[in-house]
Amino acid sequence: MTARGAPGDVGDLAMASLTSSAALVEAVAARQRRLLDAAKASGRAAVFIYSAAAHSLLATDGVWWASGFKPMGECALGIAPDGSFELWVSPSGDLSRAEDAVGARAAGVSDVFVAAAAWLARCGLRGGEVLFCGTDKISVRRYPSAAAVFGEHDGTGDRLLLELARRRDKVELAHALEAARIAELGFARLLEEIRPGLGEFAVVAILDGILRELGSQDNFVLISASQRNRSVHPPTERTVERGDVLLAEISPSVGGMFTQICRSVTIGRPGPSIARDYELLDAAFEAGRVACVPGGPVRAAALAMDAVLTGAGFGDYCRPPYMRARGHGLGIGSVLPGDVTVSTPEIFAEGDYFVLHPNQYLPTSGYLLCGEPVVVEPGGARLMSSRRGELASVGV
């Protein structure tokens, strides 16, 4: 069993200190410095980051990462050559919340690109002199406004931001640890509530409340059940009954850092095939975990997991539609290393944060979930959860 590291791994500061405003402000300032330095190294004088406030588990938000402010409407942030910055917030009624994050640097605006144009003029810059991050967030409708101010940008800034932010800083990791703690506690409490007759959606409703009480700010959840799951999916009104296997992808977030734990629960005593198949997935997880080393190919982790399953005779099922990916990145500024698949060209870097999961359909028991949030270290991925999950059972 691979336990997560001690609090010292994120410095001597307690969780409360690391997620305090002061620590976050310091972290954000450091992120902006790194980004501006990278822009200048690439021949640009300043940085512009755009957000459409379309938040999701798999997407980043550069404005949020570089300011500590979670946009609820179209927002943008400009970092000038001298390191000063401005945050343009819409709707303007959200200004006070932005001021909590960045003080007087925030301005409520009706159009972020109009604000950006004025900022460029004040800085004496042309649009082409700015590193543009977030081109992938701009809709077709808004693109003409962006292009009118900044000209055409090819997405170089988007990738640079992903690379720069991929080593999650101490504040991000502290948030991720807290989110993992909430996920594990929430799952433990959920097990006390699950009973036959509950609809899948009722299980989610109960879980949502638990996670909120524990401090989760958002939550991505897939919970479904079947006597033989074909996949995991959003909850329907199907009721949970004895003999079912309930699958739960539980992904609360703190400060924008999502975590994810993947759990399987039998309603009643697990059959021998399910227990055996879960052990197989658990072994696959461990094989994948040790393959997550800095400088190593991400696909090696997927191949390592596939090898365990192939060795057990399930090689034909190590592909869609029987599975999707062996994991995926999590974060605000970066979701590298991206999807953990056998075909990805990505390379692991120390500090990569993602969920590793050999979630899989097996013909002998159906789809099962098994996964933990991890961070890449020299000896392999370290768990961000307190312990590896186990096949759970309720109503035995």
Partner 1 sequence: MKHGRTTWDRAVLPPDEFEERRLAVERVLESIGAVAVVGFADSSRPGLVGYLSNYLTAGALATLICVPGVEATLVAGLGGGRDHPFIKGTSYVQDVRWFPQLGAGISQVLAEHGVAEGRLALAGFDDCLNRARADGVLAALAAYEVVTFDDAFDALRRTKRERELGVMRAARAVLDEAGSAFSASLQESGEVHGALIVAERVAKLRGCRDFRALALARDGSLRPWPEGGTGSTSWSNDPFAVYLAAEYLGYWADLGVSAPDQGETSWCVRALEAAQAALQIGSSGASLQVALRDRLGAAVEQITLEATGIGLTLDEAPRLSNDESALAREGDVVCLRVWAKDGRTSSVVTRQVLVGERGCTPLEGSSPA
By C-alpha distance, which of 301, 341, 308, 336 is closest to 324?
Answer: 341
Distance in angstroms (rounded) separating the CA atoms of residues 79 and 45: 9
Distance in angstroms (rounded) separating the CA atoms of residues 143 and 141: 6
Name the one residue in this structure whose structure tokens are 């879960």: 278
Question: Burial level of 314, CB count in 10 A (0-12/13-18/19+)?
Answer: buried
User: 39 or 52: whose CB is closer to partner 1?
Assistant: 52
By C-alpha distance, which of 351, 336, 335 is closest to 258?
Answer: 335
User: 36 or 87: whose CB is closer to partner 1?
Assistant: 87
Distance in angstroms (rounded) separating the CA atoms of residues 66 and 166: 13
Residues with Cβ within 8 Å of 272's Cβ and at least 6 positions away in sequence, in order, are none
User: 80 or 225: whose CB is closer to partner 1?
Assistant: 225
CB of 33: closest distance to partner 1 in angstroms? 26
Residues with Cβ within 8 Å of 103's Cβ and at least 6 positions away in sequence, in order, are none
Distance in angstroms (rounded) separating the CA atoms of residues 89 and 64: 12
User: 163 or 213: whose CB is closer to partner 1?
Assistant: 213
Contact residue for partner 1 among 122, 159, 195, 230 (CB under 8 A): 230
User: 219 or 383: whose CB is closer to partner 1?
Assistant: 219
Distance in angstroms (rounded) separating the CA atoms of residues 262 and 197: 23
Contact residue for partner 1 among 81, 201, 297, 393 (CB under 8 A): 201
Contact residue for partner 1 among 103, 128, 209, 313 (CB under 8 A): 209
User: 94 or 286: whose CB is closer to partner 1?
Assistant: 94
Stretch that binds partner 1, among 28-36, 53-61, 168-176, 282-290 (CB under 8 A): 53-61
CB of 153: closest distance to partner 1 in angstroms? 10
CB of 361: closest distance to partner 1 in angstroms? 8
Residues with Cβ within 8 Å of 157's Cβ and at least 6 positions away in sequence, in order, are 39, 47, 131, 132, 133, 134, 135
User: 16 or 30: whose CB is closer to partner 1?
Assistant: 16
Do the Cβ atoms of 363 and 225 come closer than 8 Å? no
Distance of CA 321 to the CA centre of its chain: 23
Query: What tokens were used for 5?
Result: 């590291």
User: 278 or 322: whose CB is closer to partner 1?
Assistant: 322
**Residue 156 within binding range of partner 1, rule CB under 8 A:** no
Do the Cβ atoms of 103 and 21 come closer than 8 Å? no
User: 169 or 200: whose CB is closer to partner 1?
Assistant: 200
Contact residue for partner 1 among 218, 241, 346, 377 (CB under 8 A): 218
**Residue 363 within binding range of partner 1, rule CB under 8 A:** no
> What is residue 296's DSSP assignment?
S
User: 4 or 65: whose CB is closer to partner 1?
Assistant: 65
Contact residue for partner 1 among 15, 25, 38, 57 (CB under 8 A): 57
Name the one residue in this structure whose structure tokens are 């329907």: 236
Start-to-end CA span in the chain (Å)? 25
CB of 97: closest distance to partner 1 in angstroms? 5
Contact residue for partner 1 among 41, 54, 121, 188 (CB under 8 A): 54
> What is residue 4's DSSP assignment?
P
E-strand spans in 179-268? Answer: 218-226, 245-254, 257-258, 261-267
Contact residue for partner 1 among 323, 335, 376, 392 (CB under 8 A): 323
Name the one residue in this structure whose structure tokens are 């990505």: 346
Contact residue for partner 1 among 131, 138, 183, 194 (CB under 8 A): 138
Here's the x/- map for partner 1, 71-110, by CB under 8 A: it reads as -x--------------------xx-xx-------------
By C-alpha distance, which of 48, 253, 202 is closest to 130?
Answer: 48
**Residue 124 within binding range of partner 1, rule CB under 8 A:** no
**Residue 164 within binding range of partner 1, rule CB under 8 A:** no
Here's the x/- map for partner 1, 234-273, by CB under 8 A: it reads as xxxx------------------------------------
Binding residues for partner 1, per CB under 8 A?
54-58, 70, 72, 93-94, 96-97, 135-141, 143, 155, 199-202, 204-206, 208-209, 212-213, 215, 217-222, 224, 230-231, 233-237, 319-324
